[in-house]
Structure 1
Amino acid sequence: MMPEPVLPGEFSSVGASSRGDRVTGGGGPVPAPRGGAVEHATSDDLAPGRTEPRVLLIEDDAADALLVEELVADVTPGMGMRLTWVRSVAQARAELARTVPDCVLLDLHLPDASGLEALAAVQECAEGVAVVVLTGLAEERTGLAAVAAGAQDYLVKGRVEPELFGRAVRYAIQRKQTEKAAAELQAGKLRAQENARLERGLLPTPLLNGDDSVEVVARYRPGRSQALLGGDFHDVVQQPDGTVHALVGDVSGHGPDEAALGVALRIAWRTLVLSGAPTQRQLRLLEEILVAERAGAEIFATLTSAVLPPDRRRVRLVRAGHHGVLWREADGVRWVEVPGGPALGIVPGRAHWPVQELELPHGAGLVVFTDGLFEGRSGPDGQRLGEEGLLRLAGTLTGLPAEPFVDRLIARAEELAEEYGGLADDVAVLHLRWSDRRKEETGA
C-alpha cells in the first residue's frame, strides 16, 4: 500500500523497518501519518555503535520529500535510517541546534538559499556532518560543483534505487568520518611539531665552556595536560671567565601564548647575560619584554636567577616572586629562600629585586625548580605536597649524585600524585654544582 501524500506544511519521516514510525519536522513534531509515534533525536541516538544513521532532509518540495521517504522505507533491511525533514536552511539551523545528524540530504533550491550558497550555509552550522546534495536530472554539473565545494556526494532525484541510495548515504558518512580523522591526525601532528619547537626554545642545551668545571643537570616534565605547554623555562650560560649564570622561570598560565612568552624571556635573558648586563638590568628588561608581549595584564612570570663566580666560594641569588631553592650539602638538604621582589609584570617599572650573596661550601649543590614539583596532590586527603613535603622527600635522597637525585625527586613527586592523575603542572629543574674534575686535573 502506498503511503498517504505528504501535504505542504506537514512532516513525514520513515524509520528502518516501516513507514511513518518516527516523525519530526517543520521545526517541531506533528502527528505521525498512519498512527506512527512521534520522536525526536536524543544524545543516545548518536551513541557509538548505533547502527541506524540519523539523516536530516532539507527539501521544500513535498513531492520530492515523499520520494526520499519512499527510498528510506525501501532501503535494504538492516540498513535503515532515521529521517527528519525540514523545508529551509533556517529550519535546518534550528534542528541542528537541537540534534546532530550523521548525514544531511540537501536540495540546492530552497526558499532562503540556493546552489552552493545553500551548501555553504549548511556546512557552516553542520561542521563535521556528511552532506549529500540532491539535484535534478539536468543539474549534474551543479552536483559535481557541490562535491568540489565539500559535499561528500550528489544524487539525481528520481534516478536512484533504494539500495544505491542507502549505500550512498552510508558511504558519505564513512568518507566524512575518514576526512575528520585525517584532519584531526594532521592537526595533532602540527600541534606536536609546534610543541616540540616551543619545548626546544624553553629548554635549551646549557651554554658551557666545555672544561667540565660545573655539573649541570637539567630536567623538564610536562604536566598531565600535556597537550597544552606551560611557560616553564630554564637556561644556563657560562661566561669566558668561568662565571656560571642560571635561570629558572615560570610564566603564569598554559598554552602556546604562555610557552612562546617563556621562549622570548629565556632567549632575551641569554642575550643579556652574554652582553654582560648586570642582574638588576636583566630583570628590568625582561619585565619590559613581558609587558610588551603578554596577551593580558593578568599574565606575570616568576623566576630565580643564580650566579656562581669562578672563585667557587659564593653564589648570588635573585628571586622574583619565585619560591625558594633546595641547598644540598654533605650532611643533608635544606630549604633556602632569600629575600626577593615581586614577580615580573605585577608592578611594571616599580619593582626592585635585591641580590643576595651566600657562602657556597665545597661540594654544595643548588637545586632550582618550578612550583609544579611540589603542587601535586597526594595522600588520602588530597592535600598538596607543599614546600615542607618536598623538603622531606629530598631529605630521603641525601647522598645521591646529582643526576639520580633529580630523577628520583621528580619520580617520587609523580608517584605521590599518581592517585590524582599525576603532576598537574609542568616541572623544570636545574641542579648546579662545581665539579671536582678540573681541580683534580690541574692540581689546583
Structure 2
Amino acid sequence: MGSALGLGSQHPADTSGQLAASPPRQASTVEQDRFETLWSNRPPHVLLIEDDEGDALLVEALVEDSGVDVRLGRARTLAHALAQLDAEAPQCVLLDLHLPDAQGLDALNKVLARSAEAAVVVLTGLSEEQAGLAAVAAGAQDYLVKGRLEADGFMRAIRYAMQRKQTELAAAALQTGRLRAEENARLERGLLPTPLLLDDTVSVCARYRPGRAQALLGGDFYDVVQTPDGATHAVVGDVSGHGPDEAALGVCLRVAWRAFVMAGARGQALLDLLEKILVAERSGPEIFATLIAVTRPPGDSGVAVQRAGHPGFLVRSSKGVRMEAVAGGPALGIVPDWDSTWPVTQIPMEPSGALMLFTDGLIEGRTGPGSERLDEQGLLDIARRHADLPAEQFVDTLIHTAQSLAADWGGLADDVAVLHLEWNTSS
C-alpha cells in the first residue's frame, strides 16, 4: 500500500528521542452521551479490512485517541472479512480498496452484498479521491483520505456513517411497511366486501379480526348477495395458511363465489366450480379451503346449507340459540381428483330468525393447559348467555369473550371472520 494514515496530532517526543505514549483523549460528555444513546450503551462493532500492518496500527491509535468505546475487529483479506461478516454483523466496516484478494469496487460490492446493514466507509490514498467518490456512488456511506485524519474527525466520520445507514435502513423499512400495508388493504377489500343487497329484508353484521401478532393477512373471507328472485346467499370461508398467496386465493374464491351465484350456480355445481378455481389458482397442492354457504329464499321457513370441512353455525330464534352442524363434504382441494359431494341440508328457521357463520379461528384458541380449546360447545355456551343482545353487540361480545378466554394462553392464533344475518319479515 502506498501511503500510511497520517495522524492529525503527533505524540510528544521524550528526552531520549523516542515517542512517548500520551493518555487517550477523553470524549466530551455530550459527545459520549450522543454516541451511547445511538447504540443503546453498547460499544459498536467496527471491522477494519486492511492488510497493511502499519495502517492498521494507526487506525487503532485513532480509535484509542478518540476516547470512544469501540470494539475494533480486523481482517487482512476480503475472504477473511467475509467469514467474519457471516459470524457477526458489525455496525461499520472500514474498507481499504487495495487488498491481496480484491481491488477497488469489487471488494466494496462483495462487502455490501454480504452485510447490507453495515455502514461501509472506504479508506483511500491521497491521490485516490475519485475512487472514494465512486465508492460512495456504489453504496458506501463515506470515504476517508489517508494522511488527512485526526482522531476526532475519524471517529465523527464513523459515527455519522452509522447514523446515516440507520436512517437509510429505517426509511427503507418504512417504505416496505407502507407498501405492505397498501397491499394488505387491497387484499382486505377483496376478502371483506360490501354485501350486495337489493332490499332491507335482511340485516348483515360482519366482523374480521387478525390472529395474534399477525403480520400477514390470512385467507378468511365472507360475502353476502341477494339475487333478483329475492333469495339471500351468504358464504364464509377460510384458506389454509397465511400470507399474500393465501389472501389472494381467498379473494379469488370470494369473487368467484359471487359471480357463480349471480350466474345461477347452486348446490353441488357451485362447490364443484369453486374447487376447480382453487386447484387452478393455489400455490401448492397442500393448500385447501373450508367454507359454509347458505341460501334462504324470501319468506322461506328454512335455510339451505352446504358445508365443506367447515365448523357448524349458530341459529338464533325466540327460543334461544342452537348450534347446527349439518352433514358436509371435505374441504375444497383436499381430494380434488375424487367425486366429492357436498349435500344441501334444509335447516328450519323462524321468519325473523338469525344465524351466525364463523371461521374456526373463533373456536380454536387455547383456553387452558394442554390442548383445551373453546370449541363449538364453548361458543354455544357463551352465545346462550348473551342470547338477548342485538346483532352487533352479540357478535362483538362473542369475539371479545373468546379473545379474553384465550388471552392467558397465547390469544387467538388464527384470523376470525364472523357473518351474522338477521331477517326482517315486516319489510
> With structure 2 as the length reference, what TM-score do the two structures score?
0.89
Mapping for residues 300-379 of structure 1, pairs under 5 Å: 300-350=288-338, 351-379=340-368
Alignment match, 2:141: 152
- Give the fraction of aligned pairs with identical amino acids, expressed as a percent: 62
Please tell me the residue identity of whatever aligns with 1:222: P
Structural RMSD (CA): 1.9
Please tell me the residue identity of whatever aligns with 2:328: G
For residues 85 and 134 of structure 1, the distance between their equivalents in structure 2, rounded to whole angstroms, comes to 14
Mapping for residues 404-443 of structure 1, pairs under 5 Å: 404-438=393-427
**Is 1:276 matched with 2:267?**
no
For residues 143 and 212 of structure 1, the distance between their equivalents in structure 2, rounded to whole angstroms, comes to 71
Structure 1 position 381, deviation (Å): 6.4
**Is 1:253 matched with 2:241?**
yes
1:275/1:359 CA distance change after superposition, 3 Å: same
Alignment match, 2:119: 130
Alignment match, 2:91: 102
Q: Say if 1:327 and 1:334, in contact at 8 Å, map to a contact too.
A: yes
Mapping for residues 25-424 of structure 1, pairs under 5 Å: 49-75=40-66, 77=67, 79-209=68-198, 211-350=199-338, 351-379=340-368, 383-424=372-413
What SS does the corresponding residue of 2:148 show, helix, strand or coil?
coil
Structure 1: segments with no counterpart, 5+ residues = 3-15, 19-44, 439-444
- The number of residue pairs the alignment matches comes to 395
What SS does the corresponding residue of 2:321 show, helix, strand or coil?
strand
Please tell me the residue identity of whatever aligns with 2:55: D
1:349/1:199 CA distance change after superposition, 3 Å: same
For residues 266 and 351 of structure 2, the distance between their equivalents in structure 1, rounded to whole angstroms, comes to 26
Give CA-to-partner distance per residue, 1:296-346, whole Å, 9 cap, x none.
111100000000111332211000011111111111111101111000001
Give CA-to-partner distance per residue, 1:381-428, whole Å, 9 cap, x none.
672111111110111011222221111111111111222342111111
Give CA-to-partner distance per residue, 1:107-159, whole Å, 9 cap, x none.
11112222111111001111101100011111111111111111111001121
For residues 262 and 196 of structure 2, the distance between their equivalents in structure 1, rounded to whole angstroms, comes to 10
What SS does the corresponding residue of 1:431 show, helix, strand or coil?
strand
Alignment match, 1:12: none
Give CA-to-partner distance per residue, 1:8-46, whole Å, 9 cap, x none.
xxxxxxxx959xxxxxxxxxxxxxxxxxxxxxxxxxx9x
1:346/1:380 CA distance change after superposition, 3 Å: closer
Give CA-to-partner distance per residue, 1:200-223, whole Å, 9 cap, x none.
1100000000x2011111111111
For residues 349 and 303 of structure 2, the distance between their equivalents in structure 1, rounded to whole angstroms, comes to 6
What SS does the corresponding residue of 1:167 show, helix, strand or coil?
helix
Alignment match, 1:41: none
What SS does the corresponding residue of 1:245 show, helix, strand or coil?
strand
For residues 43 and 331 of structure 2, the distance between their equivalents in structure 1, rounded to whole angstroms, comes to 58
What SS does the corresponding residue of 1:134 show, helix, strand or coil?
strand
Please tell me the residue identity of whatever aligns with 1:136: G
Q: Say if 2:299 and 2:351, in contact at 8 Å, map to a contact too.
A: no
Please tell me the residue identity of whatever aligns with 2:315: W
> With structure 1 as the length reference, what TM-score do the two structures score?
0.85
Q: Say if 1:67 and 1:158, in contact at 8 Å, map to a contact too.
A: no
Structure 1 position 66, deviation (Å): 2.2
Structure 2: segments with no counterpart, 5+ residues = 1-9, 12-22, 26-35
Alignment match, 2:17: none
Structure 1 position 50, deviation (Å): 3.0
1:330/1:48 CA distance change after superposition, 3 Å: farther
Please tell me the residue identity of whatever aligns with 1:417: A
What SS does the corresponding residue of 1:281 show, helix, strand or coil?
helix
What SS does the corresponding residue of 1:323 show, helix, strand or coil?
coil
Q: Say if 1:96 and 1:126, in contact at 8 Å, map to a contact too.
A: yes
